[in-house]
Amino acid sequence: MYRNPSCLFVEFGAGLRRACIQGKVLLLTICAAGIGGTFQFGYNLSIINAPTLHIQDFTNETWWARTGQPLPDHLVLLVWSLIVSLYPLGGLFGALLAGPLAIKLGRKKSLLVNNVFVVAAAILFGFSRRAGSFEMIMLGRLLVGVSAGSSWAARRPGPCCWPAAWCPGCSSWPPCPCFPRARATSSLTVETPR
């Protein structure tokens, strides 16, 4: 008997049933959900920690080349803090931009237009050393934040993140049929009647 390695046994009710999942389709779905989902936001929040010393040295070298004297340590730290904090500030601006952009272009087109911010930020990051400008890194972080805030706010709202094919009634909000008897309260909790 041939055993498919991509099949697994899932418990349904009282017994076990075999559920076959196509390996390539599953892998592509995981990649699309990860890369198109929250991966890019977490990546851009955490990636800034690795090149800390390199960016601080670049800032100091750039300042030295411009003025002939090094930047004091407390100002290097201030510039570094600005570079780090411009990402969430850009996220705020992007979230404010997402609504009007989604109304004017629609959600899908606004998410496609949103890629312009990321491409512009990548160009700024790539040419900042050649141009000798740490300000390009600052502007790039702001643009990446605008992209993150805009794409996060332009997504379909609701507690259910599954595609409509997996959960047919989830395209209507509220209520979501995944939580048919749940009601939102004034706090951040969700109460379910017993």
Per-residue model confidence as pLDDT tens for the chain (194 residues): 445 555 555 555 555 555 555 667 777 777 766 666 666 677 777 777 788 899 999 999 999 999 999 999 999 999 999 999 999 999 999 989 988 988 898 888 888 888 899 899 999 999 999 999 999 999 999 999 999 888 877 665 544 444 444 444 444 444 444 444 444 443 444 445 55
Range of the domain at 58: 37-156
- Residue 19 placed within a domain: no
Residues 6 or more apart whose CB falls under 8 angstroms from that of 133 comprise 62
- Residue 16 placed within a domain: no
Task: Find residue 18's DSSP bridge partners.
Answer: 9
Residue 110's pLDDT is what? 86
**Spatial separation of the C-alpha atoms in residues 73 and 55, rounded to whole Å:** 13
C-beta neighbour count of 154 within 10 angstroms: 24
Contact 98, 150 (CB under 8 A): yes
SS3 17: strand
Residue 185's pLDDT is what? 40
- Residue 9 placed within a domain: no
Contact 79, 62 (CB under 8 A): no
- Residue 6 placed within a domain: no
Contact 152, 158 (CB under 8 A): no
Q: For residue 141, with 0-12 CB atoms within 10 Å meaning exposed, 13-18 middle and 19 or more buried, which class applies?
A: buried
Number of domains the chain is built from: 1
Contact 144, 44 (CB under 8 A): yes
* Integer CA distances (angstroms), 189 to 142, 158, 161, 185, in order: 33, 14, 18, 6
- Residue 121 placed within a domain: yes
- Residue 4 placed within a domain: no
- Residue 172 placed within a domain: no
- Residue 79 placed within a domain: yes
Residue 186's pLDDT is what? 38
SS3 21: coil
Q: For residue 133, with 0-12 CB atoms within 10 Å meaning exposed, 13-18 middle and 19 or more buried, which class applies?
A: middle
Residue 62's pLDDT is what? 94
